[in-house]
């Protein structure tokens, strides 16, 4: 990477008393969230960091927390297992590091922004302008409000929910941004194209409008009919707003002349600090320049091709997901038992069983969500199969969230047996042209529940 935005100024926090997270907000350095394994704090980065800085964060995780770090589905780093005092100490120690911390409005772009030869436009100038303008509205916007600036390239953010999304599009060599409100790139409301030099003004006006609507207003609440500024949008040509299939390849790939990237992921979005620190050490020795947490619980490292290849070999040994088709990448699992006291079954153990013994079921079409309780920390959205721990047993939800009606409630601690039954069911019933998800959808909830009851 050639440029790293300046480290954001430390807010005027006195580091005490600790501000605990308000309901409906996201954890932050100065506002940790209570979880079943203590307080959890988020270290949101605006730019890539060097391997040495990741090492330092791992040290701090062991010193102040329980030595477990997360990379979230949106690509944020989290440190777990803190108490009230250690969270204050951690915040102070993190702010002492030379990190490009992102404060305020969550404005997100590709971890390869500005370096990816296949991107349509570098999203950072627009993203940084939006962050600067949003500072004037601090405290007036919904805590979970997010803006995605999609410049294109190998790692896209199309699948992430965003209140305001700007998608780069070139029309006859001129850069425009497609504006979408709410949802993902596929499901949001597509409004039109804005010229590059007008995009920051337009987003500022949208943010001001949201502030006027109140601190709970989200992108979906904006009514374009009541916002004259949206008149300046150009109509959307057929070529704009195309949502390409996700490409983000695991492993090593070239991003530009002389620069490669290594894309790996943390199983279940979580890793012991010791393993992450080992990866940092190997990366520094190999000549990796930068690394950054990335969407879908991943890490992206950049450097010379050989450095990326060297680290890849170690990453596999350290337990990272490093190749496409690894069933672990299809599983979202919260810490569950024994890490979280709300957990009612061993989510990670169940996930490892599924990855090794349910390979027919996990054919790439399934999202398996293993949730220790109904809170659904690991995957707030819909999954193909969701196992939800409860005192009454483990609920199995088909094509839903943890809060949806289960098709069956399993006897506690029979989750792996149920996965074996589902794997066998798909093996027997799947037609040649079907994916596992197609097969389950065709069979339907009643047939699935019947198979589980009979144990066949
Ligand atoms: S979903 Fe998992 S991590 Fe979250 S509170 Fe429940 S058991 Fe704990």
Crossing angle of helices 436-454 and 415-429, in 10° steps, is 120
pLDDT, mean of each 10-residue run, the chain (456 residues):
41 49 68 87 95 98 95 93 95 96 93 95 97 93 95 92 95 92 91 93 94 93 80 71 68 95 95 96 98 95 98 95 89 89 94 96 95 90 95 96 95 95 97 96 96 83
Name the residue of 66, 78, 333, 335 to mutate for ligand 1: max ligand atoms within 8 A of Cβ: 335
Are residues 226 and 335 both part of a single domain? no
Closest residue CA from atom 4 of ligand 1: 377
- Closest atom of ligand 1 to 335 CA is 3
Distance 368 CA to ligand 1 centre (A): 16
* Residue 362 contacts residue 346 (beta carbons within 8 Å): no
Q: Among residues of the chain, what percentage have pLDDT more than 70?
A: 92
Question: Can you tell me the distance from the alpha carbon of 131 to that of 122, in angstroms, rounded to the nearest whole number?
Answer: 15
40 close to ligand 1 (CB < 6 Angstrom): no
Q: Indicate whether 433 belongs to any domain.
A: yes
CA dihedral 328, 334, 338, 344 (to 10 degrees): -110
- Closest atom of ligand 1 to 343 CA is 7
Write down the pLDDT at residue 8.
42
Q: Which two tokens stand for residue 87?
A: 């969270």
Q: Indicate whether 442 belongs to any domain.
A: yes
- Mark 257-286 as b/e (b = at least 16 C-beta within 10 Å): eebbbbbbbbbbbbbbbebbbbbbbbbbeb
Q: Indicate whether 281 belongs to any domain.
A: no
Distance 195 CA to ligand 1 centre (A): 44
Q: Which of 232, 255, 280 is the last residue of a domain?
A: 232
- In the chain, the number of structural domains is 2
Q: Indicate whether 99 belongs to any domain.
A: no
Domain that holds residue 197: 119-152+159-232
Question: Can you tell me the distance from the alpha carbon of 378 to that of 370, in angstroms, rounded to the nearest whole number?
Answer: 8
Q: Indicate whether 263 belongs to any domain.
A: no
Q: Report which of 113, 110, 130, 112 is spatially closest to residue 122, judged by C-alpha positions.
A: 113
373 close to ligand 1 (CB < 6 Angstrom): yes
- 367 by Cβ neighbours in 10 Å (0-12 / 13-18 / 19+) ranks as middle
Q: Report which of 210, 205, 212, 209 is spatially closest to residue 232, judged by C-alpha positions.
A: 205
Q: Indicate whether 283 belongs to any domain.
A: no
Question: Can you tell me the distance from the alpha carbon of 133 to that of 201, in angstroms, rounded to the nearest whole number?
Answer: 9
* Residue 39 contacts residue 78 (beta carbons within 8 Å): no
Question: Can you tell me the distance from the alpha carbon of 418 to that of 174, in angstroms, rounded to the nearest whole number?
Answer: 55
Distance 410 CA to ligand 1 centre (A): 18
Are residues 331 and 449 both part of a single domain? yes
* Residue 79 contacts residue 97 (beta carbons within 8 Å): no
Q: Collect all residues with Cβ–Cβ distance below 8 Å to 418 and sequence separation of at least 6.
A: 387, 394, 396, 410, 452
Write down the pLDDT at residue 10.
41
Are residues 331 and 225 both part of a single domain? no
Q: Which of 178, 211, 232 is the last residue of a domain?
A: 232
Distance 429 CA to ligand 1 centre (A): 34
Question: Can you tell me the distance from the alpha carbon of 456 to that of 451, in angstroms, rounded to the nearest whole number?
Answer: 5
Three-state secondary structure readout of the chain: CCCCCCCCCCCCCCCCCCCCCCCCCCCECCECEEECCEEEEEECECCCECHHHHHHHHHHHHHHCCCEEEECCCCCEEEEEECHHHHHHHHHHHHHCCCCECCCCEEECCCCCCCCCCCCCCCHHHHHHHHHHHHHHCCCCCCCCEEEEECCCCCCCCCCCCCEEEEEEEECCEEEEEEEECCCCCCCEEEEEEEHHHHHHHHHHHHHHHHHHCCCCCHHHCCHHHCHHHHHCECCCCCCCCCCCCCCCCEEEEEECCEEEEEEECHHHEEEHHHHHHHHHHHHHHCCCEEEEECCCEEEEEECHHHHHHHHHHHHHCCCECCCCCHHHHEEECCHHHHCCCCCCCHHHHHHHHHHHCCCCCCCCCCEEEECCCCCCCCCCCEEEEEECCCCCEEEEEEECCCCCCCEEECCCCHHHHHHHHHHHHHHHCCCCCCHHHHHHHHHHHHHHHHHHHCC
Name the residue of 21, 34, 36 to mutate for ligand 1: max ligand atoms within 8 A of Cβ: 36
> Which pLDDT tens digit goes with each residue over 186-231?
889 988 999 999 999 999 999 999 999 999 999 999 888 777 777 7
Are residues 227 and 331 both part of a single domain? no
Name the residue of 339, 340, 349 to mutate for ligand 1: max ligand atoms within 8 A of Cβ: 340
Distance 139 CA to ligand 1 centre (A): 29
Q: Indicate whether 98 belongs to any domain.
A: no
Write down the pLDDT at residue 11.
43
Please tell me the total number of residues recorded for the chain in this structure: 456
CATH of the domain at 387: 3.30.413.10
Q: Which of 169, 204, 232 is the last residue of a domain?
A: 232
Write down the pLDDT at residue 426.
97
Write down the pLDDT at residue 16.
47
Q: Indicate whether 398 belongs to any domain.
A: yes
Question: Can you tell me the distance from the alpha carbon of 385 to that of 400, in angstroms, rounded to the nearest whole number?
Answer: 7
């Amino acid at each position: 990477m050639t440029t790293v935005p300046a480290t954001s100024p430390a807010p005027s926090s006195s580091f005490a008393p600790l501000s605990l997270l308000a309901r409906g907000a996201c954890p932050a350095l100065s506002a940790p969230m209570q979880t079943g394994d203590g307080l959890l704090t988020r270290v949101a980065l605006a730019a890539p960091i060097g391997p040495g800085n990741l090492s330092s964060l791992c040290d701090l995780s062991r010193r102040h927390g329980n030595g477990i770090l997360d990379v979230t589905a949106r690509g944020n780093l989290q440190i777990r297992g803190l108490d009230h005092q250690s969270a204050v100490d951690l915040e102070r120690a993190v702010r002492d590091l030379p990190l490009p911390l992102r404060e305020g409005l969550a404005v997100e772009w590709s971890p390869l922004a500005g370096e990816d030869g296949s991107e349509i436009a570098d999203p950072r100038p627009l993203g940084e302008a939006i962050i600067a303008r949003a500072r004037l509205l601090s405290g007036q916007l919904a805590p979970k409000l997010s803006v995605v600036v999609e410049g294109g390239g190998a790692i896209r953010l199309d699948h992430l929910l965003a209140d305001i999304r700007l998608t780069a599009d070139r029309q006859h060599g001129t850069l425009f941004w497609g504006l979408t409100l709410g949802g993902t790139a596929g499901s949001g409301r597509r409004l039109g194209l804005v010229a590059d030099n007008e995009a920051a003004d337009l987003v500022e006006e949208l943010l001001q409008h949201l502030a006027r609507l109140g601190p709970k207003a989200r992108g979906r609440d904006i009514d374009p009919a009541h916002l004259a500024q949206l008149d300046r949008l150009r109509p959307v040509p057929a070529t704009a707003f195309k949502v390409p299939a996700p490409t983000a390849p695991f492993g090593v790939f070239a991003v530009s002349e002389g620069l490669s990237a290594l894309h790996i992921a943390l199983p279940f979005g979580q890793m012991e600090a010791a393993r992450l620190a080992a990866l940092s050490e190997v990366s520094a020795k190999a000549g990796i320049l930068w690394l950054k947490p990335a969407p879908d619980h991943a890490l992206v490292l950049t450097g010379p091709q050989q450095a990326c290849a060297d680290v890849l070999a170690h990453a596999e040994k350290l337990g990272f997901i490093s190749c496409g088709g690894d069933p672990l990448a299809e599983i979202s699992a919260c810490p569950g038992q024994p890490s979280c006291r709300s957990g009612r079954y061993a989510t990670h153990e169940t996930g490892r069983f599924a990855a090794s013994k349910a390979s027919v079921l996990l054919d790439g079409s399934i999202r398996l969500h293993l949730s220790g309780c109904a809170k659904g920390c690991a995957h707030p959205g819909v999954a193909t199969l969701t196992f939800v721990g409860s005192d009454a047993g483990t609920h199995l939800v088909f094509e839903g969230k943890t809060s949806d009606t289960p098709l069956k409630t399993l006897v506690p601690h029979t989750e792996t047996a149920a996965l074996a039954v589902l794997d066998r069911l798909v093996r027997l019933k799947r037609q040649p042209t079907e994916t596992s998800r197609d097969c389950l959808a065709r069979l339907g909830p009643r047939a699935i529940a019947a198979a589980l009851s009979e144990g066949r």
